[in-house]
Homo-oligomer: A and B are copies of this chain.
Amino acid sequence: MKTANPNAYASSCPTRLVLDRVADKWAVLILGSLRDEPVRFNGLRRLIEGISQKMLSQTLKSLERDGLVSRKAIPTVPVTVEYSITPLGRTLSATVDSLRVWAETHIDKVLKAQRQYDAGAQRKAA
């Protein structure tokens, strides 16, 4: 069964929910981290500076549920858990990673625009 006309602009379309999940800071950084090789929970925590254990755990769970990431517990001691990207996740990773690249590439222009905007707002407030 196929969804008839997926359209993110329609509020009732499930696409809206998926867009909300993948258009997410942490999801972008996690998918980027897993792009080349599987990484363990605490490995991701070290790669993605400032992510809390809660958000990492929560975001990984959503990504796993959506079929974008797979979780594999390895019975070592202590147990290690390896997260890797699925084939479906791989179809998304290039797109979300280009979002990160855009941010890194255009950060200077954005910061400049913010300064100009804030200067204008100050004039109005004065």
Contacts and interface: CB of A to CB of B under 8 A. Distances in A.
Interface residues of A, number: 58
Given A103-B22, A107-B15, A111-B14, A95 B95 contact: yes
Nearest to A47: B9
Contacts of A3: 107-108, 111
A40 to B, nearest CB: 16
B107 A14 contact: yes
A18 interface: yes
Contacts of A25: 16, 19-20, 23
A25 B67 CA distance: 20
- Which 3 pairs between the two chains have the least Cβ-Cβ distance? A67-B113, A11-B50, A6-B104
